[in-house]
Amino acid sequence: MEQFINITLDLLVGFGETLKIFLVTLAFSLPLGLIIAFGSMSKFKPLSALTRAFVWVIRGTPLMLQLITVYYGPGLIFGRVLLTSVSAVYITFSINYACYFSEIYRGGIESIAKGQYEAGQVLGMTRRETFFKVVLLQVIKRIIPPMSNEIITLVKDTSLARVVTYYELIYFAQRYIKNAGLLWPLFYTAVYYLVFTALLTFLFGKLEKKLSYFN
């Protein structure tokens, strides 16, 4: 029993590391995604082409490969390590998720009827006012389901960070196999992921309900 409690607490520390990746990634990728979305919708063709090509590369290659490239790449090219594993993980995850979010934002923004912008214009509102005061909340309402999907995927993708020696939940559990011959902590980690995703699902459900007063 004492062993179970100790391992539970130890894994909780590992989950804390997982949570750090999750929160830092969201903090950077949510706004960065909006910038990328504007880039890919730009009327300036070279910018939109460049942005779309970037999104294609990031979405078209495995996150694990991107992590390895960012962490080990500088060492192979310049002969010295530039990034700690922590910053490599934060940078790679943020860029990767920003690209996925940008496509969700773009879909949401483009789904808003032209009439909303036109109504704003004929009422003398600026384009900026129309976007932030009229369009944005409608976009947020529409993208909640795909965003909640993507954010729940992020919770589990954090486990990839261990390929560049970032010590997160799965890594903590695997040590028990090597050091104590205990296999069960590895499977036990599922409970942490499940509880956390249940919490997220609950929060997104709440948000969806809060915005259900209009359509």
Partner 1 sequence: MNILEVKDLRKRFGDNEVLKGIDLSLKKGEVLSIIGSSGGGKTTLLRCLNFLEIANNGEIVVADKTVFSATEGEKPTIAPEAQLSFGLVFQQFNLFPQYSVIENLMLAPKLRAKRMGTGEKIEDIEERAKQLLATVGLTEKANEYPCRLSGGQQQRVAIARALMLSPDILCFDEPTSSLDPELTGEVLRVIRSLKDSERTMIIVTHEMEFARHVSDRVIFISDGVIEEEGTPEELFGNPKSEKLIAFLSAGQE
Contact footprint for partner 1 (CB under 8 A): 113, 115-116, 118-126, 129, 133-134, 137-138, 141, 213-215
Nearest to 135 by CA among 150, 124, 119, 151: 119
**Half-sphere exposure at residue 105, Cβ-oriented, CA atoms within 13 angstroms:** 20
**C-beta closer to partner 1: residue 110 or 129:** 129
| Minimum distance of partner 1 from residue 124's CB (angstroms) | 5
Minimum distance from CB of 137 to partner 1 (Å)?
Answer: 5
Q: Which is nearer to partner 1, 112 or 163 (CB)?
A: 112
Cβ atoms < 10 Å from Cβ of 184: 11
CB nearer partner 1, residue 46 or residue 124: 124
Packing angle, helices 2-41 and 45-60, rounded to 10:
150
- Between CA 83 and CA 90, with CA 87 as vertex, the angle to 5 degrees is 140
Pick from 7, 5, 9: which is nearest to 182 by CA? 7
Task: Give 18 or 138: the residue with its C-beta nearer to partner 1.
Answer: 138
Question: Please, what is the minimum distance in Å from the beta carbon of residue 114 to partner 1?
Answer: 9
Find the length of the chain: 215
CB of 202 to partner 1, least distance (A): 24
To the nearest whole angstrom, how small is the minimum distance from the Cβ of residue 31 to partner 1? 22
Whichever of 137 and 183 has its CB closer to partner 1, that residue is: 137
